[in-house]
Amino acid sequence: MKFQQLSAIRKELLDCSSKEKARVSRRFFKTGPGEYAEGDKFIGVQVPDVRIIAGKYANLPEKVTLDLLHSPIHEERLLALLILIAQFGKAGDLERNKIYRLYLKNTTWINNWDLVDLSASQIVGVFLREKDKKPLYKLAKSRIIWERRIAIVSTFALIKNREFKEVLKISEMLLGDREDLIHKAVGWMLREAGKRDQRTEEQFLKKHAKQMPRTMLRYAIEKFPEKKRHYYLFIPRD
């Protein structure tokens, strides 16, 4: 049964695939030698098509979902995460706990920014809303770029509830990160916090703007009025 399900799912993905889209995705997601997603494989399926397939297999057994998540093919891992998100959304406390733990146990395969951004806040962030946030800080200290990105993007679920403590603390932890993809994610989350409480974001900026990587700062102030953006962009830096 398991192999029949996998075969059917993979056939549906291939039926939606395109060699040209795969070529574009390999370039867009930086899969070349020395790039952040070196060796990732794409078959060229658009996200809306993957979502449709995920909807058909929303009740897929865990073993089959894990086989997809452990696939070398990017779209199969994307499909597995969409299925886990759907199952998490409908689950009770015990099942949510199980999916959350499964997610953190398998971060090795949640290994590109789109996979993280799609899933982290909807599973990790939502699960931890009413719980101890220590797992986020552990992830933020990880040597693995994708786990650090999971940490900061997960705070989006808290930001939506106007809870800003974690986004501010984790952003501070990641100020010195060397990775541009972390700079972008931190700036993005600070911007989302600012949309809900600009005073909170500006308090962070007044303390840290001089040390923030340029990309992080630009993302954080993207929605500010031009005059205020100009102020932060040209503030004397340490």
100-141 pLDDT tens trace: 999 999 999 999 999 999 999 999 999 999 999 999 999 999
pLDDT at 3: 74
127-183 pLDDT tens trace: 999 999 999 999 999 999 999 999 999 999 999 999 999 999 999 999 999 999 999
Residues 85 and 140 in one domain: no
The span from the CA of 84 to the CA of 224, in Å, is: 36
| Final residue in a domain of this structure, among 32, 60, 90 | 90
Q: Which candidate, 165, 230, 163, places its Cα nearest to that of 196? A: 163
Q: How many domains does the chain have?
A: 2
Residues 120 and 58 in one domain: no
Instruction: Tell me if 63 is assigned to some domain.
Output: yes
Residues 76 and 143 in one domain: no
Domain that holds residue 164: 112-238
pLDDT at 2: 65
3-state secondary structure 167-235: HHHHHHHCCCCCCHHHHHHHHHHHHHHHHHCHHHHHHHHHHHCCCCCHHHHHHHCCCCCHHHHHHHHCC
Instruction: Tell me if 105 is assigned to some domain.
Output: no
For residues 129 and 161, the answer to whether their CB atoms sit within 8 Å is yes
Residues 53 and 163 in one domain: no
- Could you tell me what percent of the chain has a pLDDT over 90? 96
Q: What is the mean pLDDT of residues 36-62?
A: 96
The CATH number of whichever domain residue 174 belongs to comes to 1.25.10.90
Tell me which residue has tokens 């009740």. Answer: 59
Instruction: Tell me if 19 is assigned to some domain.
Output: yes
For residues 40 and 98, the answer to whether their CB atoms sit within 8 Å is no
pLDDT at 238: 62
**Could you give the C-alpha distances from 31 to 63, 110, 198, in angstroms and in order?**
28, 15, 37
pLDDT at 1: 63
pLDDT at 235: 84
Q: Which candidate, 188, 180, 153, places its Cα nearest to that of 81? A: 153
pLDDT at 188: 98
